[in-house]
């Protein structure tokens, strides 16, 4: 009878229960978003332990993030109590580190080995490059380290590579350098992140007795987000599961979004070859989202080729369509989202149930500013709040020092960033002088350079720094804050420092710096901007209240929210430019999977935004709506007018959009085309005209002929302050800033 069911099985549907109870032998749960894959794993842990098939410490469970591990442990603990603490549950890296401590000597390390961070790794590799007289200008250490790390992701130790695998890199010596790097690590009793798993795999391969010990120990293996495992993770799992074959992996090929970090979607596609006789469970009922949200996600992902294909359904009735909204620019987008959040709050929806999911980290800035203005508490997950990011703080430290010469914290932060030869000794001298004379550091620095307290090189460096600051301080009188910021970032070598940096984070940091310049642009004066920043950072403190979540799409994997906002769906932003520049569809398909992940995070409400204009590389650019929008099903999306210029924009954006042919599929280009044909523009223009009559007088009149550098000549159709809709003779209807057009004859 159902009454006899233990609580962890109650409420599971038949295939879910099947996946939980099929404890022996390999099981792959292959299913779409929100079908309860993670819930199956949690229930399976409870089931294995409560039916005494295994003790908690005989189970190995792998999650994708530490957070997911914590959550899973909490859920299991709710079912089985404190025993949950003893499960071997964590990320690949955490589990591997724990195992490696036990067997370090087998790969020539002591159990006390240290794990290097990226900085240490680079320093070490640089020493090796120098010792081998490798030209670092030509072959930057970061670049070489990247290749080495990718080899590690694929389970390739130097022994498994032939000299040729390094190609021409570093004069054909990369494999040899890799070997030296590994040798050095051993001497230092250290390993890097990639080594954790690689060493364990090596140990298992070379020491059958050790492997056998773990075959006896780990009776059951469980893996979440299996689609995002890389080769070495896969090898490790396969070795461990070899004997018992009790491995249960859950995943969704449509949510594979880490190929750029070495994940192999093939792992999931070939599971039943590696584990013959594997039981494949498909879950088709989605418990998370309403029907329109599911339909939107399903239609979109159907545009990818080479998928396994899955059915998804829900028994939830009704539900609002996915709202697609066109806006003029980023600030209108942030305003609209802010308004919607407040309106949802008024209707009783908590902030904790809402999220804004962006494609790239820098995109949170505009929303953060808006939320701060509105007084809506927020948190940024998987990253820092914009003004807390290191590069943003560095840049602001320059500005602070210019506005306020006595700001010692700012001085210390950037006096040697980028490196300009002002080392610890010099800094100590400055501190001593400052204390002695009761001056701030930068004032003391003037005294010190006038004396002979510093070595000539350091003295020159400090004096050069002071001169630069003085000059910027003078420039601050004449330039706009944005111009000043750009000039400082440029002349100080700060931007160049990140441009030269080949680490994976560097592009994101550069984007944040550009975003900072955009932020600064909104302020009249340097003090006004700095005041804003200090208020912004101060308000970040009280975090007890309920908060809305901001994060990247990548970080949102596995999570769910009642309401999800998806801004920035424009060609070149999402899908991003890199995927569009690439030949072949690999990158584009990964972007589409990311879009799928985004939509499927929503339980009840999804809003997608696209802006007609964005400042990219310091220039206003007109953007096309993302092709993904045309891949959504007509019946399940709502294009109803947003307020403001967006309404007017939409009428024409659809025109621009269907004008550009993306081809393919049962696209709803028809729908966009239909909207173009609809006589919606007349009334919209009238509406604008009426509003204009009461607003400020525009520099351009409707009907006026104008010229634009990029688009040529055209006729103004709508004028709203500095925003124009122009019908260009060659380029069609575009939205442009008044500042970028001139009157034409
Ligand atoms: P993703 O692919 O996004 O990781 P998932 O397949 O792991 O999703 P879960 O997060 O496990 O899905 O479940 C999605 C939601 O559905 C959760 O809120 C979960 O509690 C709920 N759920 C899962 N199975 C059932 C069920 N049988 N009955 C009711 N709710 C369920
Ligand atoms: Mg999940």
pLDDT digits (tens, 9 = 90+) for 298-325: 999 999 997 888 888 999 888 999 999 9
| 207 pLDDT above the threshold of 70 | yes
Residue 383 pLDDT exceeds 60: yes
Burial degree of 439 (CB within 10 A; 0-12, 13-18, 19+): middle
% of the chain surpassing 90 pLDDT: 59
Q: Is the CB of 44 under 6 A from ligand 1?
A: no
Identify the pLDDT of residue 131.
Answer: 93
Give the end-to-end CA distance of the chain in Å, rounded to a whole number. 86
pLDDT at site 542: 53
Cis amide linkage into residue 572, ω under 30° from 0: no
Annotated active-site residue 470? The verdict is no
Among residues 678, 507, 656, the alpha carbon closest in space to that of 570 is found at: 656
The pLDDT, as a whole number, for residue 543 is 58
Strand order across the 220-223 sheet: 88-91, 59-63, 220-223, 247-251, 27-31, 279-283
Q: Side-chain half-sphere of 73: how many Cα atoms within 13 Å?
A: 21
Q: Tell me if 567 sits within 8 A of 370, measured CB to CB.
A: no
Residue 521 DSSP class: T
Neighbours of ion ligand 2 (CB under 5 A): 37-38, 558
Annotated ligand binding at 33? The verdict is: yes
Query: From the candidates 149, 153, 192, 224, which is the catalytic residue?
Result: 224
Instruction: Indicate if ligand 1 lies below 6 Å from the C-beta of 13.
Output: yes
State the average pLDDT over residues 650-654. 37
For range 671-693, the mean pLDDT: 30
- SS3 of residue 645 by DSSP: helix
25-40 b/e (C-beta count within 10 Å ≥ 16 → b) = ebbbbbbbbbbbbbbb
**Rounded mean pLDDT, 66-88:** 92
Q: Taking the model in full, what pTM does it have?
A: 0.77
560 alpha carbon to ligand 1 midpoint, in Å?
A: 9
DSSP letter at 311 equals -
Who contacts 558 (Cβ-Cβ below 8 Å, separation ≥6)? 38, 64, 65, 68, 224, 225
Compute the distance from residue 38 Cα to the ligand 1 centre, in Å: 7
Using CA atoms, how far apart are residues 634 and 638, in angstroms rounded to an integer? Answer: 8
Per the annotation, does 298 bind a ligand?
no
- Give residue 303 CA to ligand 2 midpoint distance, Å: 23
Given ligand 1 and candidates 12, 14, 38, 258, which is best to mutate, with the most ligand atoms within 8 Å of its CB? 38
Phi-psi region of 487 (alpha: psi -120 to 50; beta: other; left: phi over 0): alpha
Kindly tell me if the per-residue pLDDT of 541 is higher than 80: no
pLDDT tops 60 at residue 607 = yes
Residue 399's nearest CA partner among 540, 523, 538 is 523
Q: Has 408 been annotated as catalytic?
A: no
Give the pLDDT band (50/70/90) at residue 540.
low
H-helix or E-strand containing 301? Answer: helix 291-301
Cα(237) to ligand 1 centroid in Å equals 25
Rounded CA-CA distance 716/704 in Å is: 5
Token pair for residue 640? 């109803």
Taking the centre of ligand 2 as the mean of its atom positions, its distance from the CA of residue 309, in whole angstroms, is 18
Please list, in sequence order, all residues whose beta carbon lies within 8 angstroms of the beta carbon of residue 432, skipping any fewer than 6 positions away.
none
Separation of alpha carbons 387 and 719, rounded Å: 35
Which CA distances in Å does 515 have to 386, 565, 618? 9, 20, 9
Give strand pairing partners of 736: 724
pLDDT greater than 90 at residue 647: no
Q: What is the DSSP string of 557-616?
A: TT--EEEEEE---BTBBTTBHHHHHSSSSHHHHHHHHHHHHHHTTEEEEEEEEEESEEEE
The alpha carbon of 18 and the centre of ligand 1 are apart by a number of angstroms equal to 15
Interval 286-297 mean pLDDT: 96
Is 37 catalytic? The answer is yes
Q: Where are the beta strands (DSSP E) in 612-660?
A: 613-616, 619-622, 637-638
What is the chain's mean pLDDT, rounded?
Answer: 86
| Residue 561 pLDDT level (bands cut at 50, 70, 90) | very high
Whether residue 604 contacts residue 562, with contact meaning beta carbons closer than 8 Å, is answered with: yes
Q: What percent of the chain has pLDDT over 70?
A: 90
Would residue 120 show up in a list of annotated catalytic residues for this protein? Answer: no
Phi, psi of 299 (to 5 degrees): -65, -45
Helix, strand, coil share of the chain (percent; to 5) = 55, 15, 30
Catalytic position from the list 255, 314, 485, 547:
255
Does 744 contact ligand 1 (Cβ within 6 A)? Answer: no
Question: At 40, which helix (H) or strand (E)?
Answer: helix 37-50
- Specify the pLDDT at position 656: 32
- Ligand 1 contact, 509 CB (< 6 A): no
Calculate mean pLDDT across residues 607-611. Answer: 96
Report the alpha-carbon distance of residue 644 to residue 630 in Å, rounded. Answer: 23
Whether 314 is in the pocket of ligand 1, judged by its Cβ within 6 Å, is no
Annotated catalytic residue 429: no
Tokens, residue 688 = 């604008």
Q: What pairs with residue 607 in β-bridges?
A: 323, 565
- At residue 195, does pLDDT exceed 80? yes
CB 593 within 8 A of CB 552: no
359 lines ligand 1 (CB under 6 A): no
Residues 636/322, Cβ–Cβ less than 8 Å: yes
Residue 666 · residue 303 · CB < 8 Å: no
Residue 640, pLDDT score: 56
- State yes or no: ipTM above 0.90: yes
CA distance 544 to 541: 9
**Largest alpha-carbon pair distance within the chain?**
91
- Quick check: 609 and 277 in contact, CB under 8 A? no
Categorize the per-residue pLDDT at 650 as very low, low, confident or very high, splitting at 50, 70 and 90: very low
Using alpha carbons, list the distances in angstroms from residue 117 to 25, 122, 124, 179. Answer: 38, 9, 11, 19
Q: Is 603 near ligand 1, meaning CB less than 6 Å away? A: no
Q: Is the pLDDT of residue 245 over 60?
A: yes
The CB density around residue 325, as the number of other CB atoms within 10 Å, is 26
Residue 245 among known ligand-binding residues: no
Report the C-alpha gap between 513 and 236 in whole angstroms.
40
Question: Is the beta carbon of 15 within 6 A of some atom in ligand 1?
Answer: no
38 catalytic? Reply is yes
Q: Which residues contact 467 (CB under 8 A, 6 or more apart)?
A: none
- Whether residue 145 has pLDDT greater than 90: yes
Q: Give yes or no for residue 719 having a pLDDT over 90.
A: no
In terms of average pLDDT, the best of 150-159, 444-453, 560-569, 675-684 is 560-569
Rounded to 10 deg, the angle between the 174-187 and 118-131 helix axes is: 120
And the tokens for 509? Answer: 């940091």
Q: Residue 266 — very low, low, confident or very high, per pLDDT cuts 50/70/90?
A: confident
Identify the pLDDT of residue 537.
67
């Amino acid at each position: 009878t159902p009454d006899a069911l233990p609580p962890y099985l109650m409420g599971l549907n038949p295939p879910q229960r099947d996946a939980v109870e099929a404890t022996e032998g390999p099981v792959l749960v292959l299913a779409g978003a929100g079908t309860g894959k993670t819930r199956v794993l949690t229930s399976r842990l409870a089931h294995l332990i409560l039916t005494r098939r295994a003790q908690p410490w005989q189970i190995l469970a792998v999650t994708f993030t530490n957070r997911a591990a914590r959550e899973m442990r909490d859920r299991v603990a709710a079912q089985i109590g404190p025993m949950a603490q003893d499960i071997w549950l964590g990320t690949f890296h955490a589990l591997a580190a724990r195992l490696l401590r036990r067997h370090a000597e087998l790969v020539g390390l002591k159990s006390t080995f240290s794990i290097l961070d990226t900085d240490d790794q680079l320093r070490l590799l640089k020493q090796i490059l120098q010792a081998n007289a490798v030209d670092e200008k030509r072959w930057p250490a970061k670049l070489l380290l990247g290749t080495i790390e990718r080899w590690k992701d694929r389970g390739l130790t130097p022994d498994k590579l032939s000299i040729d695998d390094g190609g021409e890199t570093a004069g054909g010596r990369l494999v040899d350098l890799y070997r030296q790097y590994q040798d050095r690590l051993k001497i230092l009793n250290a390993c890097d992140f990639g080594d954790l798993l690689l060493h364990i795999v090596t140990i298992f391969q070379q020491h059958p007795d050790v492997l056998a010990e773990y075959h006896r120990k780990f009776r059951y293996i469980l893996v979440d987000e299996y689609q995002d495992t890389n080769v070495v993770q896969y090898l490790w799992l396969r070795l461990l599961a070899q004997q018992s074959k009790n491995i249960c992996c859950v995943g969704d090929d449509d949510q594979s979004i880490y190929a750029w970090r070495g994940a192999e979607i093939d792992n999931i596609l070939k599971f039943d070859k590696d584990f013959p006789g594997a039981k494949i469970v498909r879950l088709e009922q989605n418990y998370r989202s309403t029907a329109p949200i599911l339909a939107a996600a399903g239609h979109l992902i159907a545009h990818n080729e080479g998928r396994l294909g899955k059915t998804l359904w829900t028994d939830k009735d009704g539900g609002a369509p996915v709202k697609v909204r066109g806006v003029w620019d980023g600030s209108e987008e942030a305003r609209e989202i802010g308004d919607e959040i407040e309106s949802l709050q008024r209707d009783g929806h908590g902030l904790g149930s809402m999220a804004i999911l962006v494609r790239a980290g820098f995109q949170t800035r505009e929303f953060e500013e808006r939320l701060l203005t509105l007084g809506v508490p927020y948190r940024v997950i998987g990253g820092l709040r914009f003004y807390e990011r290191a590069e943003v703080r560095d840049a602001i430290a320059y500005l602070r020092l210019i506005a306020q010469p006595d700001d010692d914290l700012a001085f210390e932060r950037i006096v040697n960033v980028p490196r300009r030869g002002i080392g610890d000794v010099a800094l100590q001298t400055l501190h001593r002088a400052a204390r002695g004379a009761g001056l701030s550091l930068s004032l003391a620095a003037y005294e010190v350079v006038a004396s002979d307290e510093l070595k000539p090189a350091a003295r020159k460096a400090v004096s050069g720094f002071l001169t630069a600051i003085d000059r910027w301080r003078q420039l601050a009188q004449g330039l706009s804050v944005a111009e000043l910021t750009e000039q400082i970032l440029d002349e100080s070598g700060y931007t160049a420092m990140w441009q030269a940096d080949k680490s994976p984070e560097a592009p994101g940091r550069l984007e944040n710096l550009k975003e900072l310049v955009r932020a600064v642009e909104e302020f009249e004066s340097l003090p006004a901007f700095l005041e804003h920043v200090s208020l912004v950072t101060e308000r970040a403190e009280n975090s007890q209240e309920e908060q809305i979540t901001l994060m990247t799409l990548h970080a949102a994997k596995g999570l769910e929210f009642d309401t999800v906002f998806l801004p920035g769906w424009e060609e070149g932003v999402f899908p991003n430019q890199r995927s569009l520049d690439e030949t072949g569809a690999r990158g584009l398909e990964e972007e589409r999977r990311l879009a799928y992940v985004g939509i499927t995070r929503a339980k009840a409400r999804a809003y997608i935004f696209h802006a007609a204009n964005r400042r990219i590389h310091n220039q206003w650019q007109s953007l096309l709506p993302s092709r993904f929008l045309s891949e959504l099903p007509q019946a399940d999306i709502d294009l109803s007018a947003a307020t403001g210029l967006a309404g007017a924009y939409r009428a024409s954006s659809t025109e621009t959009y269907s004008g550009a042919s993306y081809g393919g599929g049962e696209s709803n280009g028809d729908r966009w085309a239909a909207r173009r044909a609809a006589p919606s523009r007349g009334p919209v223009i009238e509406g604008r005209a009426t509003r204009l009559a009461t607003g400020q007088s525009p520099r351009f009149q409707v009907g006026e002929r104008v010229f634009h550098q990029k688009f040529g000549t055209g006729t103004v159709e709508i004028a709203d302050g500095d925003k124009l809709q122009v019908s260009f003779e060659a380029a069609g209807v575009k939205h442009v800033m008044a500042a970028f057009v001139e009157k034409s004859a």
